[in-house]
């Protein structure tokens, strides 16, 4: 059984998707801790008190000091994977190095387009016809790690940022669960700047289709959620 630690700063809808997939048996894993830089984050309420850790990052003298406490807390629960699911702080080099190779993030854009914040508004400003979400390995550079998989949504002519965000969020949940199923099965790994799937380099990000199936090359069953 794979052990998953989740970092979250907000309401925790992606965390809930993980919890739901575990409860139905779709994801053979357990959430061993939820960690937040915001003690009031709603995500913390989605798990039992013994699985929660939070601290106000603003109370620490430096970013590194907060990251060190966070890293120690995460390491204490002995996770196999650390998942950033709506975690809004940039992780420092020391934190990333400590968990490199088992640190994943879900980002609301089709990377490498629109790293950082305000992704939906930026896509609309550029008159994009497609937008979406990406799951990638975390490296010290912001949202620049190798992308494992993506889900695409159409951009409608009458969209605003809120409507587009809701459409993207709806595909984030199955996308993240599908990637975590690969991870939990031992099929996914990071080697420097290269991802391997089943021991073979993955040169192009996997795509989640409209039916919630993550298409894996040469795998007739693929990964459905």
- Of 109, 115, 79, the C-alpha closest to 6 is 79
- Check residue 223 and give its pLDDT: 52
Residue 218 has pLDDT above 80, yes or no: no
Can you give the pTM of this predicted structure? 0.94
- Check residue 219 and give its pLDDT: 59
Cα of first residue to Cα of last residue in the chain, in angstroms, is 18
pLDDT tens digit sequence for 18-77: 999 999 999 999 999 999 999 999 999 999 999 999 999 999 999 999 999 999 999 999
Domain ranges across the chain: 2-224
pLDDT tens digit sequence for 124-173: 999 999 999 999 999 999 999 999 999 999 999 999 999 999 999 999 99
Backbone angles phi and psi of 150, in degrees to 5:
-140, 155
- From 107, 120, 136, 173, active-site residue: 107
CATH of the domain spanning 2-224: 3.40.50.170
The single residue listed with the structure tokens 């031992």 is 186
Query: Is the preceding omega at residue 221 within 30 degrees of 0, hence cis?
Result: no
Mean pLDDT, the chain, integer: 95
Respond yes or no: is residue 120 known to be catalytic.
no
């Amino acid at each position: 059984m794979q052990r998953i630690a989740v970092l979250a700063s907000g309401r925790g809808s992606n965390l809930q998707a993980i919890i739901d997939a575990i409860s139905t048996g779709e994801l053979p894993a357990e959430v061993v801790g939820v960690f937040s830089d915001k003690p009031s984050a709603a995500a913390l309420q989605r798990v039992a008190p013994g699985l929660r850790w939070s601290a106000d990052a603003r109370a620490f003298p430096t970013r590194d000091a907060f990251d060190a406490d966070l890293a120690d807390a995460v390491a204490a629960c002995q996770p196999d994977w650390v998942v950033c699911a709506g975690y809004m702080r940039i992780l420092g080099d020391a934190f990333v190095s400590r968990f490199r190779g088992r640190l994943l993030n879900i980002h609301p854009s089709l990377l490498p387009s629109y790293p950082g914040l305000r992704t939906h508004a930026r896509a609309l400003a550029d008159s994009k016809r497609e937008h979406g979400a990406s799951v990638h390995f975390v490296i010290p550079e912001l949202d620049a790690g190798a992308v494992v998989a993506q889900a695409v949504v159409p951009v409608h002519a009458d969209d605003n940022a809120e409507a587009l965000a809701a459409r993207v969020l709806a595909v984030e949940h199955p996308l993240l669960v599908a990637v975590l199923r690969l991870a939990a099965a031992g099929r996914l790994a990071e080697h420097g700047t290269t991802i391997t799937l089943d021991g073979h380099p993955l040169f192009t990000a996997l795509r989640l289709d409209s039916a919630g199936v993550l298409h894996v090359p040469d795998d007739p069953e693929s990964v459905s959620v």
